[in-house]
Structure 1
Amino acid sequence: MERFLENTMYASRWLLAPIYLGLSLALLALTLKFFQELYHLVPHIFEQSEADLILVLLSMIDMALVGGLLVMVMISGYENFVSQLDIDEDKEKLEWLGKMDSGSLKLKVAASIVAISSIHLLRMFMDAQQIANDKLLWYVIIHMTFVVSAFAMGYLDKLTRH
């Protein structure tokens, strides 16, 4: 009975596989949204002010960072919790593949969230004339919460590894 229970629990890790596949569909949705933004930007590029262009570009950079985060979570999560990826030797292989454990994945996710939050905060500051000061203050507080959380996670990880 114990053996059956242990085998069942171990096999249940495969329930995560559809979730990681769903993340690839989310990546597809993000890609479509990116090109929709690009499609709307190009015809009106000469009509936009520099500030508006920068806001759109920051939004696109934000999407690229979120896409990278999705890939990192999808691939390393699958490899850490479901099964190792079997990639042919003649195919291109990501350098970090097989080297990122769940602890380092958490740190990468936290760093990515800080980067995404930084870009969002920069977008808010560039549009500061239309945003109330108390709202800007909350954006800064939330961003600093992400920064402090990421730093604390990194520090705790360093303490536990040594």
Structure 2
Amino acid sequence: MSETPAPSRPDRMRNAIARGAETALFNSRWLMAPFYLGLIISIVVLLLKFVRMLWEFILEAPGAKSTDTILGVLSLIDVVLVANLILIVVFSGYENFVSRIDTSNYPNWPVWMTKIDFAGLKQKLLASIVAISAIHVLEAFLNIDHAFDATRMTWLVAVHLVFVISALLLAMSDRWSADHDAE
């Protein structure tokens, strides 16, 4: 039986430096945690904005025209969609890039929150952006009686179509990649 020779001193130093660098790189993922905490604070700010908008909506609703009521509801939905978008980024980003979340103590934990991979995150983000963009186009369309600006409407529709086409192309690309990987 032959013994493997012990690594030389330079090899041991290189290995120690490599392990130290790998440990530093691996632990650097925690630098993302403050970003996710900041996004959680932004949801609190959106909640305050939502409560203010809801209060104004309630006060103005009795005398408002139906289109103004619909515009008010769409504005509330818009804030909710943005908050959902932030929540998706926080949970899936933390889970994918920082650390796994132990959900065993939370029986009501939504399954999707720890099951979204990066491709799913991209699709959910783009779907939310498309929905938010659609709301802005709808708001402009419903507000057509007050101030019609053909250039603004054209830009809103064009940007919305770019988002829709981007979402479709991303979904097709992810599907083709998944089909290719399955082969």
TM-score normalised by the chain length of structure 2: 0.85
Contact kept, 8 Å, 2:40 with 2:90, in 1: the verdict is: yes
Structure 2: 5+ residue stretches without partners: 1-16
Q: CA deviation at 1:42?
A: 1.3
- Counterpart Cα distance in 2 of 1:112 and 1:90: 26
- Counterpart Cα distance in 2 of 1:91 and 1:154: 31
Q: CA deviation at 1:87?
A: 2.8
How many aligned positions are there?
A: 162
**Aligned letter for 1:32?**
L
Greater RCO (CA < 8 Å, at least 6 residues apart): 1
2:47 to 19, 28, 31: 31
Q: CA deviation at 1:90?
A: 4.9
2:121 to 105, 110, 114: 105
- Counterpart Cα distance in 1 of 2:80 and 2:143: 21
TM-score normalised by the chain length of structure 1: 0.96
- Counterpart Cα distance in 2 of 1:140 and 1:124: 10
Partner of 1:145 in structure 2? 162
Greater shift in the superposed pair: 128-137 or 28-37: 128-137
Q: CA deviation at 1:43?
A: 2.0
- Counterpart Cα distance in 1 of 2:27 and 2:65: 56
Structure 1: 5+ residue stretches without partners: none
Q: 1:77-124: per-residue Cα shift (whole Å, max 9, x none)? A: 101100011234354211213211111101110011001111111001
Indicate the structure (1 or 2) with the bigger Cα radius of gyration. Answer: 2
Partner of 1:17 in structure 2? 33
Partner of 1:62 in structure 2? 78
Q: Identity rate of aligned residues, in percent? A: 38
- Counterpart Cα distance in 1 of 2:72 and 2:60: 12
The answer to whether structure 1 residue 123 and structure 2 residue 106 are counterparts is no
Contact kept, 8 Å, 1:20 with 1:74, in 2: the verdict is: yes
Calculate the aligned-residue CA RMSD, in Å.
1.1
Contact kept, 8 Å, 1:62 with 1:116, in 2: the verdict is: yes
